Amino acid sequence: MPGSFASSPLVKICGITRADQAQQIVTLGADALGFICVPTSARYLDPDQIRCILETLPRFSRAKQPLLSVGVFADASLETIAQTLALSQLNSVQLHGNEDLDYCLTLKQSHPHLTLIKAFRVKDQKTLYQAQRYGSAVDFFLFDAFHAQALGGSGQTWDWTWLDPVPMARPWWLAGGLTPENLQKALVNCAPAGIDLSSGVEVEPGIKDLEKVTQLFRLLALPDPTSHPV
Ligand SMILES: O=C(O)c1ccccc1N[C@@H]1O[C@H](COP(=O)(O)O)[C@@H](O)[C@H]1O
């Protein structure tokens, strides 16, 4: 695990577009890398471009766990996902659109070894309760901020205190506007299985700021500020 916070969250850096940056981010300690498969995004890569990057990466993270390579889709056809997986060698899928429960069940049935993450764009606390229906179909939930103009990668945060009373049917990832600056505050409010950062560690869409990524892992290696020695 990269961090010594109480929750020791997994770390996903999303919106990777360059092999050299992907390699450095894995060396720094990332557990997962995200590749945007949504054609309208400035961070979009096609399946061949993703495969070329993945071929340069180790199969295991610094924590000696299989590196998660996550394709981010939004309302793509099941056929598009199947083709992309076959061509790119991605091992995980993040569904960031309005995919329903049947869609998730079908995808999981046809790709049982796939790590499946269902993203929800949180408008209010109701979204968090509604997400629980997907518990039987996916491996992880991911909670991102709702933004009227952008599907994701908006840099917008949301009210993390909404999470507090919600019983989670699955381990979950925190996303939406996370930065090395606000991460500590976020992790005091909640204990996700993983954290997902994109624009908060970027110079421009798709180009990561490796200084900020380094700062992030340094921060996660610090002792948990909420823990007290016994
Ligand atoms: O990053 C994109 O361009 C994108 C496009 C379409 C769907 C999702 C996208 N990104 C996801 O957005 C969240 C949060 O990003 P940020 O940290 O607020 O910039 C993250 O899960 C990305 O996977």
Which residue among 72, 73, 95, 147 has the greatest number of ligand 1 atoms within 8 angstroms of its CB, and so is best to mutate? 72
What is the 10 CA–ligand 1 centroid distance (Å)? 17
**What is the ipTM score, two decimals?**
0.98
The CA 38 to ligand 1 mean position distance, Å, reads: 10
d(CA 12, CA 175): 9
List pLDDT tens digits, range 146-200. Answer: 998 888 888 999 999 999 899 999 999 999 999 999 999 999 889 999 999 999 9
Q: Are 103 and 82 spatial neighbours (Cβ–Cβ below 8 Å)?
A: no
The model carries a pTM of 0.94
Beta-strand relationship, 10-14 and 194-197: parallel
199 lines ligand 1 (CB under 6 A): yes
108: tokens are: 């999981």
Please enumerate in sequence order all residues whose Cβ is within 8 A of that of 118, keeping only pairs 6 or more positions apart, or say none: 94, 95, 99, 104, 131, 134, 137, 138, 140, 141, 142
Question: Which residue's CA lies nearest to atom 8 of ligand 1?
Answer: 152
In the predicted model, is pLDDT for residue 228 greater than 60? no
- The model's pLDDT over 169-182, given as tens digits with 9 standing for 90+, comes to 999 999 999 999 99
Q: What tens digit of pLDDT does each residue of 100-134 get?
A: 999 999 999 999 999 999 999 999 999 999 999 99
The β-bridge partners of 218 are none
